[in-house]
Structure 1
């Protein structure tokens, strides 16, 4: 409450003396504000914008739910079948809102889910899409988390009465460890000064964001591809036979020049550099291939879901087995990660959509870990069916099913 009073007072001051700053900020929730398909770092750190994206869809009567993840949420390179394109709000009877970007790992998701759960008519189902890279040796949360941290979302999370004080303390402590949130042992004067400073930065950032969106008419992130083909409806949803048949054709067409089934463009420009960099920088101490700290954060995400009554689907994404086998993260090592995610989800009583068995499927991924059109079709079907029925269908359709892929 103290923060809100400070923020409102500051906003009022700036609105009078700063040329209507608060009026600019409020545009982030306007009906005609552009829809963000894959948000920038500035956009994911704006709770005003993230909340506004959901509320505008809900006000239009669209059934939408957030999909939390990182770089795999980018619909740009993944074609028409990517959830951010295929399931864009308003396209079918169930829609998906991409919530996250590169750098948004488990702690960011825990805060955002708790914040979203406090919104009127909040979604009761969400999708979690953790990436193995979050848990690997090169993670740098103190570098990455402050760039995507949202003080507005953190405030909404802390104000959510469904979340226990103990869980709030754990999340706040971790945020402080990562260089954001409320530092421990902070005195009342320091806290007031920091709250004023944080409110000023948040408002200034939202004003710049609203101004840029108004000038450009779109997000500087990746927009939903409005020209992408929309397969015909089948009882309100996509025709999955048509989706998979076309997605399989497209994935194969883009991977004709290499043995790994990667996009030829990515393979030719980036694979050698990626592999050299992985073998140079992925250093492991003993058997510590994965971060216990990140797994604690992942369990906090599940705890937030449980306490707020949110039902998550945990999507277990594969990596390109033939590529990772050439690094210290061999098949045997990667199975440790998949088991840990499965076990944590089972302990919490939540459903998984496990695609780890597709590691060696030639056309499932377009590079080392991001979905091709075909992989995107699998993700979209699982997400759609979960949001629609509560059960994720992870199987193929169309020619892919007939071919036994």
Structure 2
């Protein structure tokens, strides 16, 4: 508590004790420093005689030195730790001393741990764990700026003119419409409305162009979609069973009775150490042929489900990707909630549960909302562009 009386003794914290120590040093420095000592006294008096919200005093004394510069380095770093990444980048331009302090590795390491749970998307290029595991020469600050979605958006906006020109040039080149399969446990939980919103409801996000039949024993049929930006794709939706069968097996492990997968026996399974179920699965023959014709995958998970159930779904994703191991194709993971206000697991937890860092192909995990299709178009645009780079 601040005291409004100059005669009242107050037990102070670390910052006040530091100021008292400075005042004693100034009082012992001699008569030549009386003016500077008076300046320090006035600052301390302002703290103890005014309301906290009205404390105002000159940060620069008679000697021209900054009050902040007199603080210990650890205290400065503690103060900087409360700033955002953008504020730290602004502070580094103040002076050389601040530039060194705001580049401290421990500062950016703690900032990364704090902010990564708020990031709405993580990709194979913006996964911080990737750079830490390979002992990258990049500093903690460089890793943060490389991986942060906010800074990547600012960088993209700064080069928007070049991207617009390149997009115009690409429009004159013939491009293949990619064939994509959507599957995953999120199609069979509270986020199952995603398919209905995309394929059947009118929206400004997806335009339905045409339908195409299946080629492999009735599998692989779907619909051609076009996005406002001009991107198109052939989308096939794969369910683990019929609607009636899915409703009847409520409470049963989804991998049991999955019509897309079959369990390998002991001789064929090999190493399944990275599989949470303890078993290894492979695609059924008709789906295996379809998988060879695909250019990309969309794996849908329900971000409101438990992390254990999300980890068990890794077996389904691995079985599908194993069929395209020779020619890696991009993977988009839609981490969905039904409504925006639903409590969800962050994208970094989804990356860890699905072991995305072990994949060799391009991948992106993005948070989205099924009722509004929020961010789903951004993920599909990324997937189409990755497919057309191959």
TM-score of Structure 1 vs Structure 2, range by shorter chain: under 0.3
TM-score (norm 1): 0.26
Relative contact order higher in (CA < 8 Å, ≥ 6 apart): 1
More helix per residue: 1
More strand per residue: 2
Q: Which has the larger radius of gyration?
A: 2
TM-score (norm 2): 0.27
